[in-house]
Amino acid sequence: MYKKRYLTLSHFLHRQFGCRVYKIPVNAGFTCPNRDGTVGTGGCTFCYNPSFSPVADTPAKSIREQILEYKTRLSHRKRQAKYLAYFQSYTNTYAPPNVLRSLYREALSVPDVVGLCIGTRPDCVPNPVLNVIEEYARDHHVWLEYGLQSIHNKTLRLINRGHTAEDFLDAVSRTKGRGIYICAHVILGLPGETLQDMLTTARALNDVGVDGVKIHHLQIIRHTKIAEDYLAGKNIDTLSVDEYVHLVCTFLEHLSPEIVIHRLCGEVLAGEMLLAPVWNLPKTDIINKIDKELNRRGSYQGSRVNP
Ligand code: SF4
């Protein structure tokens, strides 16, 4: 019986495929227009890809080799499993359509890979690129994951996203109706944002009709612009684990119950890459705290969505 008070990706995929479905991160060698000078050079202020992508620094190996290696590592866990190839590092639609077509095709040629998750920016999905993704979505399970972080342009400017909320709304409206699942990434606890600002983001995601949300907490990670500011003594607040648990539960309560939850907190980094907040807790403990808090409240995803 399904016991969670929110709709997890693993449950959603299990319902569709009847077995466990793993995401396998791959690095297709992309860069990002917010780093190479096309949109900007410094990147988003919080971003250091190696901190959240286990393959960000993967030496050149083919997509197929990367997936096969990862599958081998997972093979002890379950006999019957399927896989989604997760194009994770940087901006995975940032190439001409024919190049993208061949990379996605290579991933889908690996046995038991039933679909794709493609991480990208809302300003990097021209219609010819969406046409390619739509082709694959006809016969496969395909998620397009848009980095958004916040629906507020003042915040997007502050964190140097290099795109606007309107770019996101436009990308989503051009993606809808193509059989592609749409996921938005958000960060809770961004500088200057109030609880009401974050709940406005939740409501905007409901209104625009995304299919999934990946929720992170703000982490200050070395080699980022926000870390420079933090180390220089600028006042940048981060959340305690209890503050975050309260916040994410309230966020979930305001999110449509139809939206699939891909993630509930940022990768909980340890070691010297993470400057703050240092929680010293494994991710499972944080998820348990979130589950407990929703139980304590007697609430669930969508319980405070206005009809
Ligand atoms: S978060 Fe994404 S869009 Fe921003 S700099 Fe990093 S790779 Fe580029």
Enclosing domain of residue 114 = 9-297
Ligand 1 geometric centre to CA of 119 (Å): 10
21 located within any domain = yes
The pair of three-digit structure tokens given for residue 204, joined into one six-digit string: 């905007």
Instruction: Give the nearest ligand 1 atom to 89 CA.
Output: 7
Looking at this protein, which amino acid is placed at residue 219?
Q
Q: Report yes or no on 305 lying in a domain.
A: no
Residue with tokens 């400017």: 157
pLDDT, the chain, mean: 94
Give just the sign of the alpha carbon dihedral 151, 188, 268, 304. negative
Q: Which two tokens stand for residue 73?
A: 């590592």
Q: How many CB atoms lie within 10 A of CB 219?
A: 28
Q: Give residue 34's identity as a one-letter amino acid code.
A: N
Angstrom distances, CA of residue 25 to CA of 19, 89, 94:
19, 8, 17
> pLDDT tens digit string along 202-234?
999 999 999 999 999 999 999 999 999 999 999
% the chain with pLDDT above 90: 88
Q: Which of 44, 51, 52 is nearest to 121 (CA)?
A: 44
Tell me which DSSP letter residue 192 carries. T
184, 144 contact by CB (below 8 A): no
**Atom number of ligand 1 nearest to Cα 46:** 1
pLDDT at residue 56, rounded to an integer: 62
What letter represents residue 218's amino acid? L
Ligand 1: residues within 6 Å at CB? 32, 34-35, 43-44, 47, 49, 90-91, 121, 147
CA nearest ligand 1 atom 2, residue: 90
Ligand 1: atom nearest CA of 161 is 4
Q: Is residue 1 part of a domain?
A: no
Residue 275 in domain = yes
In a domain, 303, yes or no: no
In a domain, 128, yes or no: yes
Q: Which is it for strands 220-221 and 274-276: parallel, antiparallel or unpaired?
A: antiparallel
The total number of structural domains in the chain stands at 1
Residue 306 lies in a domain: no
Secondary structure letter of residue 49 according to DSSP: G
Ligand 1, atom 8: nearest CA belongs to which residue? 32
Question: Residues 47-75: pLDDT tens digits?
Answer: 997 766 666 665 569 999 999 999 998 87
Amino acid at 232: A
Residue 34 C-alpha to ligand 1 middle, in angstroms? 6
- Give the CATH number for residue 58: 3.20.20.70
Position 135: which residue type?
Answer: E
Nearest CA to ligand 1 atom 7: 90
Nearest C-alpha to atom 6 of ligand 1 is from which residue? 47
| Rounded average pLDDT over 28-38 | 95
What is this structure's pTM?
Answer: 0.96
